[in-house]
Amino acid sequence: MIRDITLGQYYPGDSFIHRLDPRLKIIATLVYIVALFIMVDFTSYIFTISYMAAVIIISKVPLSFILRGMKPIILILACTFLINLFMIKGGDVLLDMGFLTVTEKGLRTAIFLATRLIMLLIVSSMLTFTTKPIMLTDGIESLLKPFKKIGVPAHELAMMMSIALRFIPTLLEETDKIMKAQLARGADFENGSIIKRAKGLIPILIPLFISAFRRADELAMAMEARCYKGGDNRTRLHSLKFTYRDLIATIATVIMVAALVIQRILM
Amino acid sequence: MSIRIENLTHIYNKGLSYETKALDDVSLTIEDKEFVGIIGHTGSGKSTLIQHINGILKPESGRIYINDTDITEKGVKLSDIRKRVGLVFQYPEYQLFEDTVEKDIAFGPLNMGLSPEEVDVRVHEAMELVGLDHEEFAGRSPFELSGGQKRRVAIAGVIAMKPEVLIMDEPTAGLDPKAHKDIVEMLVKLHRMTECNILLVSHNMEDVAEIVDKIIVMHRGKVFSQGSPAEIYKERDRLLDIGLEVPQAMLFMKKLEDRGIFVENNVMTMDEAVREIEKLLRKRT
């Protein structure tokens, strides 16, 4: 049940995308997100969608796995879609239901915005699907290095992130286990009023918090016992290198963005 | 209650590259009042198997009958099944959440919709069965108890629901020898007193062999062999082949046999081994 959440998970693989430099993947994802917001019309979607499709196909992450991660945001998507659909006025009236009217501009904006949101989510989850958490944080740390001079604790931030990411699946598994145990004791999470259901969460949340604190404590002890000290002069097992693969990916991304910008200027 | 499982198959992560067949065409029968040990390696499918018996996991295919009602059919009230089949998970102390021992044990019975008086009676009974003094422990926080005591509180929480089938997944895992022995003795006492079915899951045959009526050995998602402890004893070579931990007394007797000293009786426990060896020595002198 709860294991269906794929957001932030890693999908094991050895594709071209998996082997890219994490720094490049992070920057490309950020660039892509910005690109999503400079899109103007239908043609610009061709560029961004084909770029995204290419990434998905090359990475060999199954579409069903990606779509499963979309489930939690269906409600948010539906809300934005409906609000845009009814609130934005302009162009021909397509549907008139008295106090609610659907106009051409409203429909267009609603569809564009919804696709934009979906693409935003897919691309950012592609980053975690194809990048091992440890690589991801290595990448972030390396990207944050220049800011160290102005007091940004790059290494500590990266370490905190990697620990957080590392424990998402563990805590999910733990939640699943505790839920099952309380179900076996006759707990009911699905029926009753909202207040009753909220109260029903207590038997899950308390054990979960306790185990999270216990794990944090154990981890801190284990790190301490191995004389962990973050920061300067630490070397890495895998140092990041920019290869021909990264060059190809960079060129592809630059072409996509350039196409968008040129198209926007021409409009 | 009798439990009948027919051709049960369960697959984790179906459709993904890392899908695994945890149970593969498992069929078995457990008679009323029987005390059954389920043994196997980690990953042999024993935990997956028991989670099907109270409807927490749904099978890919196959049927599970409890007293001739098929619980895999749609429309079966799972809450009724869960009242009758109690399941104590591995490391059950991690599921404690109330601020007192008493309240935590009462959680299950209250969910069953029993009256406060009845719940109170059951909490008393359950605490006595697991060997926790009511006066001393009832008002204490479960989080300040020792590991073994926490484990007993968690077990009492399930016993208080008075299930007709009690399933225990590795109830002695991670306990010290004394607490270990206490729990095993508690199970024997419980079985004698309540006459409920007990399914004891373990990776170690030593725990199970002395106390159960029947042993089911799981290996790679299949039933590897099943029968009375004596019948399983005859298959010890096969068990050793799959690398299962067998009782030390059994290993010792096998070594004797390999050297040509033959013992007739099936030896499973240390006591039996001592008796047989004494007999042998007496014969020689």
Mutation to test the A interface, candidates B12, B95, B105, B122, most A Cβ within 10 Å: B95
pLDDT at residue number A52: 92
Judge whether A185 is closer than 8 Å to chain B, CB to CB: yes
Pick the most confident of A65-79, A106-120, B4-18.
A106-120
Contact B132, B101 (CB under 8 A): yes
Kindly tell me the burial class for residue B1, based on how many C-beta atoms sit within 10 Å of its own C-beta (0-12, 13-18, 19 or more): middle
Q: What is the ipTM of this complex?
A: 0.84
Chain B residues with CB under 8 Å of A177 CB are 89, 94
Helix (H) or strand (E) holding A159: helix A154-184
- Are the beta carbons of B108 and A207 separated by less than 8 Å? no
- pLDDT tens by residue, A213-235: 999 999 999 999 998 887 667 77
What residues contact residue B95 under an 8 Å CB cut-off, 6+ apart? A178, A181, A182, A185, A203, A207, B89, B154
pLDDT band at B158 (very low <50, low <70, confident <90, very high): very high
Whether B265 has a pLDDT exceeding 70, the answer reads: no
- pLDDT tens by residue, A189-198: 777 788 888 8
Judge whether A190 is closer than 8 Å to chain B, CB to CB: no
Whether the model pTM is above 0.80 = no
A101-136 exposure pattern, b = at least 16 Cβ within 10 A, e = fewer: ebbeebbbbbebbbbbbebebbbbbbbbbbbbbbbb
- Are the beta carbons of A210 and B94 separated by less than 8 Å? yes
CB pairs under 8 A between A and B: 59
Q: How does the average pLDDT of chain A come out, rounded?
A: 85
- pLDDT tens by residue, A52-64: 999 999 998 888 8
- pLDDT tens by residue, A165-175: 778 888 888 99
Contact B62, B7 (CB under 8 A): yes
- pLDDT tens by residue, B27-70: 999 988 899 999 988 888 898 999 999 888 889 899 999 888 88
Mutation to test the A interface, candidates B97, B100, B169, B170, most A Cβ within 10 Å: B97
To the nearest whole Å, the CA of B141 is away from the closest chain A CA by 13
Mean pLDDT of all residues in B220-240:
85
pLDDT band at B121 (very low <50, low <70, confident <90, very high): very high
- Are the beta carbons of A185 and B79 separated by less than 8 Å? no
Residue by residue, what is the 3-state secondary structure of B58-85?
Answer: CCCEEEEEECCEECCCCCCCHHHHHHHE
Helix (H) or strand (E) holding A94: strand A93-97
Amino acid at A182: Q
Amino acid at B85: V
What residues contact residue B268 under an 8 Å CB cut-off, 6+ apart? B209, B210, B229, B230, B233, B247, B249, B250
pLDDT at residue number A38: 81
pLDDT at residue number A6: 61
pLDDT at residue number B156: 93
Chain B residues with CB under 8 Å of A178 CB are 94-95
Judge whether A64 is closer than 8 Å to chain B, CB to CB: yes
| Residue at token pair 């693969």 | A245
Whether A107 has a pLDDT exceeding 60, the answer reads: yes
